[in-house]
Amino acid sequence: MINNNRHHSQFQLALQRFRGNKTAMACVFILGFLYFSAVFAEFLSPYSYKDEQRQYSYCPPTPVHFFDQGRLTWPYVYGLQLSFNEFYKREYVTDVNTKYRVKLFASGESYKLLGLIPTRVHLLGVESPGRIYLLGADSRGRDIFSRLIFGGRVSLSIGLIGVLISFTIGLLIGGAAGYYGGRVDNYLMRLCEMVIMFPGFYLLLALRSAVPDDFNSVQVYFAIILILSFIGWASLARIIRGMCLSLREREYVLAAKSLGVNDFHIITQHILPHTLSYSIFAVMLSIPGYILGESALSLIGLGIQDPFASWGNMLSDAMSIVRIKFAPWILWPAFFIFLTVICFNIIGNVLRDCLDPNLKGN
Amino acid sequence: MWVYILKRFLVAIPMILIMALATFLLMGSTPGNYLDTIRMDPQVSEETIGYYQHLYKLDRPLLEQFFYWIKNLLRLEFGYSFHYNVPVTRIISARLLNTFILSFASFVLTWAVAIPLGIWAAVHRNQWIDRLIQLFSYIFLSLPSFFIAMILLYWASQTGVLPLGGMYGPDYDQLTLLGKIGDILTHLAIPTVALSIGSIAALQRIMRGNMLEALGQKYILTARAKGLPENKVVYHHALRNAINPLITLLGYEFSSLLSGAALIEIICSWPGLGSLMLTAVRSKDIYLVMTSMLMGGVLFIIGNLLADILLVKVDPRIRYD
């Protein structure tokens, strides 16, 4: 075993250390599961994100019963009857006489799996006209569980794409500033400071105001990604620039230069790879910022618009305290935001310790 | 020192102007302006609209509008708000103060809690108390502040201990001066806590790291070797060196506070700059947006400068000339 370690690269060693950390691996699995569910959202969700049933507005989570008169049976749910109590408050009374069996691989609304294969199969369903609300329903009677899965698509992908864009910009600008130094460095860094100087949320609002109102949801989605990356690249560029300032003095850069390699090639092939270990955990630690940014925008109604789901716009229902009181299940998206953010934070921190073991010996 | 401060300001001015230009162009390049909202009202005649269009130079090219704005800026006129129909400064100055109160309260709370907590955790390194603090700081670091605000508001609605949003109680005007301060403080509690929890967690971790580093230094060994009481070693020798790097953070902390405060303001309906900015953006009240941005930038520069000055006061080794 010890011999094997010999021809392991730094990176493989770091990966080995990372695998040894149980908490971090658990986080990787949770995130993997969330991303998996986002990809197969149509299949995993019982209903579509826009499947409205107004008569089930704020329907509480449906309990799934496994026992019928003391005997184990195939899981079923009871039908619900909407009624109003003496204060005219909505109440859903379980109708014990109607039972709907829970169906696995039930056929429901048709969709295209992965955008390719047309099918009607959903992992979970219930005999019609019964409805199954595993985590309750929202104001229009849409299934929160389904919307959570669909919302994950937006919220989880915004983090990844946003980080990809802002890191590309940040690396290139930081690399160029650090490599050329002098006047280029000066101008580029002033540019960075300009972006950093304005409080992020104000900048977010100002930029959002520049997005035309008649954009459709897909356009708004990409606009939000662009806005978030525009705000995010500057702080990274500054750090990368600091690293490149010292890296450009190395001999191999001089060697590359004297061999006549062009500047772009030197920056991308010889200098930036050395900032990789920093970039990797910086990516992990900055993804939550994008997820939270999108949630914040959607929360105040400037982000993804109904009927499309994102964790942020699902939460905008919870801006009213009365609704939290009568339908606390509308807070589920907040839990998923929290779960995702904490996973990225833990993975980022553990990665940092693994990639740079002499940073802080514990 | 003063030369340095002056220099910083001079460098900042063109940067702010370029940023303002970018915002102005971006906002102006999208279709529609505030007058469209007025136009929907059938009682407003076409002439009135034309009059306003001329008055605010909305019929001129965008760049020209911008230079009018800059020209007025030099005379310290920030323009009129379309929505409120009063000079922008009159609205913003009140809102700016409110935002400042919230940010300052949160700032004080953050530092007052995070520093002792960080020291405590560092001194009891790897004991259960340290682990507990680290666990909670992980959790609070990942909890979105708006969620904390929602939960706190919900809790307040259930128990009735604290007011639900806003800044003043209904009987604010009848209260004595002391009562007024108390009234504002109770309204301040929820937004401040929601805003601070995340920063406390973050700052505490940094403080703990710095403290651990300082405690591992040779001079600490010397101090202990010469028989100094542990109290003095920690608070006199280690703490002073551990806290220095934090001062540079102070300026950035302030700016992130401002932007974090905006969201909390909206949720807790605190009448600050952030909630103002939101309504302004929504109704395309362009001068209000511009001035809010400007104020945000200026506050950030001042925060950074204060941090730099403080750093010199704390650490005499640093010089700026």
Please write the tens of the pLDDT for every residue from A275-325: 887 888 888 888 988 898 888 888 888 888 878 888 988 888 888 888 888
Answer yes or no: are the C-beta atoms of B270 and B193 closer than 8 Å. no
The gap from C-alpha B101 to its chain's centroid, in whole angstroms, comes to: 9
d(CA B188, CA A85): 38
- Domain ranges in chain A are 53-141, 147-359
Residue of B nearest to A286 (CA): B142
Alpha-carbon dihedral A55, A61, A62, A63, rounded to 10 degrees: -160
Answer yes or no: are the C-beta atoms of B136 and B123 closer than 8 Å. no
> Minimal Cα–Cα distance from B154 to chain A, Å?
6
A295 contacts B141? CB cut-off 8 A: no
| Interface probe, candidates B13, B96, B126, B150, chain A, greatest A C-beta count within 10 A | B150
What mean pLDDT is predicted for residues A265-270?
86
Beta-carbon contacts below 8 Å between A and B: 133
Task: State whether CATH 1.10.3720.10 applies to domain A147-359.
Answer: yes
d(CA B230, CA B227): 9
Residue with tokens 């650090």: A178
Answer yes or no: are the C-beta atoms of B197 and B140 closer than 8 Å. yes
Q: What are phi and psi of A143, to 5 degrees?
A: -70, 120
d(CA B239, CA B192): 27
Confidence tier at A35 by pLDDT (50, 70, 90): very high
Instruction: Give yes or no for residue A358 having a pLDDT over 80.
Output: no
Question: Domains of chain B, with CATH numbers?
Answer: 93-255+263-276 (1.10.3720.10)
The amino acid that residue A301 corresponds to is G
d(CA A192, CA A174): 9
Is A206 at the interface with chain B, CB within 8 A?
A: yes
| Helix/strand/coil (H/E/C) assignment for every residue in B176-210 | CHHHHHHHHHHHHHHHHHHHHHHHHHHHHHHHHHH
Going by their DSSP bridges, the two strands A65-68 and A71-84 should be labelled as antiparallel
Residue of A nearest to B302 (CA): A197
A319 contacts B150? CB cut-off 8 A: yes
Chain B partners of A324 at a C-beta cutoff of 8 Å? 150, 154
> Minimal Cα–Cα distance from B295 to chain A, Å?
9
d(CA A57, CA A323): 12
Extract the tokens encoding A27: 């986080």
Is A36 at the interface with chain B, CB within 8 A?
A: no
Q: Reduced to 3 states, what is the DSSP secondary structure of residue B8? A: helix
d(CA A151, CA A161): 16
Q: Considering CB atoms only, which of B154, B284, B293 is closest to A202?
A: B293
Confidence tier at A219 by pLDDT (50, 70, 90): confident
A342 contacts B142? CB cut-off 8 A: yes
Taking 3-state DSSP, the helix, strand and coil percentages for chain B, each rounded to the nearest 5, stand at: 80, 0, 20
Chain B partners of A210 at a C-beta cutoff of 8 Å? 23, 26-27, 29-30
Is A30 at the interface with chain B, CB within 8 A?
A: no
| Interface probe, candidates B92, B131, B263, B304, chain A, greatest A C-beta count within 10 A | B263
What mean pLDDT is predicted for residues B248-262?
71
> Minimal Cα–Cα distance from B76 to chain A, Å?
21
Strand order in the sheet with A71-84: A65-68, A71-84, A90-113, A117-126
Q: Under 8 Å CB-to-CB from A360, ≥6 apart: which residues?
A: A353, B209
pTM for the model stands at 0.85
Residue of B nearest to A347 (CA): B138
Residue of A nearest to B28 (CA): A210
> Minimal Cα–Cα distance from A48 to chain B, Å?
26
Q: How many CB atoms lie within 10 A of CB B150?
A: 23
Residue of A nearest to B279 (CA): A205
Which region among A11-20, B26-35, B40-49, B120-129 has the lowest average model confidence (pLDDT)?
B26-35
d(CA A118, CA A40): 13
List pLDDT tens digits, range A46-94.
888 888 888 888 888 888 888 877 778 888 888 787 778 787 777 888 8
Confidence tier at A362 by pLDDT (50, 70, 90): very low
Which region among A4-8, A169-173, A192-196, B226-230 has the lowest average model confidence (pLDDT)?
A4-8
Chain B partners of A288 at a C-beta cutoff of 8 Å? 142
> Minimal Cα–Cα distance from B177 to chain A, Å?
31
> Minimal Cα–Cα distance from A322 to chain B, Å?
8
pLDDT of residue B33: 72
pLDDT of residue A361: 40
Is A25 at the interface with chain B, CB within 8 A?
A: no
